[in-house]
């Protein structure tokens, strides 16, 4: 199968599997214990933390292990001090649902936030500003460093959070106080991620109560094997992704050009404004769920630009924020690539899309 859904989950790297299995088999003790096996587990956990911190250019004490991106987003938004939250309209649902009643910054037709509008929403009472680095649906890159500058000027004391789950390795870590990461978007294991908490004084209230793990920010026994696998995956991402970005941009252009007779590409046109591994298209008149069934039968794995809720396909909030109509949003597909994606995979996807549109007689 041509697997073109890397933005949802990446295949686990062989080196990651090897490390996870080795650590799980040899370091089974609780890292919070005091005996020799526990100390060995603690040492490997802290080695992984050191490695991750080094790849990110932060201090080890600033890396808080979590179960993944959703928990990290929730810890940032729910754990921030009381006060108004400011979020972009295209944030992941983990951010939006963790900040009910937030001030929502609109985006343009490419999915990029309006900085002027953001500035009008900032004041001294704001507790946190959350703007993702790269959008998980259309790939739009956001000016997070400019967001941080505006927040520090107009909302002194506010925390700045960014969800960098999709962008690690492709984009330098932004100058945010809080950064969300997830291993399974990097070729790492499921169920492990991190929240980078820059500085020693960022005030965060834990989501759960229990032990004092992760400097009191995230109680619960740490996943030593998962952390070790996360470190291996991140090492690979920061080493390989920058060199692979140009090739991935080319694959996206190949796909968009191949289906241009029946589809239009969404998001920024300039490659400098979007993530290299995401190509999002709209095929007007064709329902995404119908297209995906035919693509799956043809051996192409992709995803829709909408989410299923209670059995009904709802228009993507990201696409609606970009001023798409509900029908356009329901007719959109996301293709996303990784290191194993080839031109043959792209060509297979192009043929599958063209055949699906013909068979559905919807364009």
> Which residue is catalytic, options 246, 286, 308, 362?
308
Distant-in-sequence, close-in-space partners of 339: CB < 8 Å, separation ≥ 6: 187, 240, 244
* HEC assignment per residue over the chain: CEECECCCCCCCCHHHHHHHHHHHHHCCCCCCCCCHHHHHHHHHHHHHHHHHHHHHCCCHHHEEEECCHHHHHHHHHHHCCCCCEEEECCCCHHHHCCCCCCEEECECCCCCECHHHHHHHCCCCCCEEECCCECCCCCEECCHHHHHHHHHHHCCCCEEEEECCCCECCECCCCCCEEEEEHHHCCCCCCCEEEEECCCCCCCCCCCCCCCCHHHCCCCCCCHHHHHHHHHHHHHHHHHHHHHHHHHHHHHHHHHHHCCCCCEECCCCCHHHECCCEEEEECCCCCHHHHHHHHHHCCEECEECEEEECCEEEECHHHHHCCCCHHHHCCEEEEECCCCCCHHHHHHHHHHHHHHHHHHCCC
Quick check: is 362 catalytic? Answer: no
Q: Are 279 and 268 in contact (CB under 8 A)?
A: no
CA distances from 129 to 64, 85, 103, 270 (A): 20, 6, 9, 26
Alpha carbons 149 and 88: distance in angstroms, whole number: 16
* Count of all residues that appear for the chain in the document: 363
166 φ, ψ to 5°?
-85, -20
Q: Which residues are catalytic?
A: 308
């Amino acid at each position: 199968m041509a697997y073109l859904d890397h933005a949802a989950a990446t295949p686990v790297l062989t080196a990651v599997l090897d490390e996870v299995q080795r650590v799980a088999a040899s370091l089974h003790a609780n890292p919070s214990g005091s005996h020799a096996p526990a100390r060995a587990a603690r040492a490997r956990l802290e080695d992984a933390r050191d490695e991750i911190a080094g790849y990110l250019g932060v201090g080890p004490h600033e890396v808080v292990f979590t179960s993944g991106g959703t928990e990290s987003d929730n810890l940032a938004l729910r754990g921030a001090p009381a006060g108004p939250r400011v979020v972009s309209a295209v944030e992941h649902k983990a951010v939006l649902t963790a900040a009910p009643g937030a001030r929502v910054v609109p985006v343009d037709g490419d999915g990029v936030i309006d900085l002027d509008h953001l500035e009008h929403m900032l004041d001294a009472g704001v507790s946190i500003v959350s703007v993702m680095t790269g959008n998980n649906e259309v790939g739009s890159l956001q000016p997070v460093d400019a967001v941080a500058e505006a927040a520090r000027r107009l909302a002194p004391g506010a925390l700045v959070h960014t969800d960098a789950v999709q962008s690690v390795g492709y984009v330098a870590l932004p100058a945010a106080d809080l950064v969300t990461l997830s291993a399974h978007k990097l070729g790492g294991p499921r169920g492990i991620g991190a929240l980078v908490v820059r500085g020693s004084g960022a005030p965060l209230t834990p989501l759960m109560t229990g032990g004092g793990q992760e400097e009191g920010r995230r109680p619960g026994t740490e996943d030593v094997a998962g952390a070790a696998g996360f470190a291996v995956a991140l090492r690979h991402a920061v080493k390989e992704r920058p060199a692979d970005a140009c090739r991935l941009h080319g694959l996206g252009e190949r796909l968009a050009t191949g289906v241009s007779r029946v589809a239009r590409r969404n998001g920024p046109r300039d490659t400098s404004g979007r993530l290299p591994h995401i190509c999002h298209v709209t095929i007007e008149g064709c329902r995404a769920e119908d297209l995906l069934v035919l693509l799956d039968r043809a051996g192409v794995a992709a995803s829709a630009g909408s989410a299923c809720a209670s059995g009904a396909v709802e228009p993507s909030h990201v696409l609606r924020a970009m001023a798409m109509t509900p029908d356009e949003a329901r007719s959109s597909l996301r293709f996303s690539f990784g290191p194993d994606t080839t031109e043959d995979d792209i060509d297979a996807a192009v043929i599958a899309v063209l055949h699906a549109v013909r068979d559905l007689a919807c364009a």
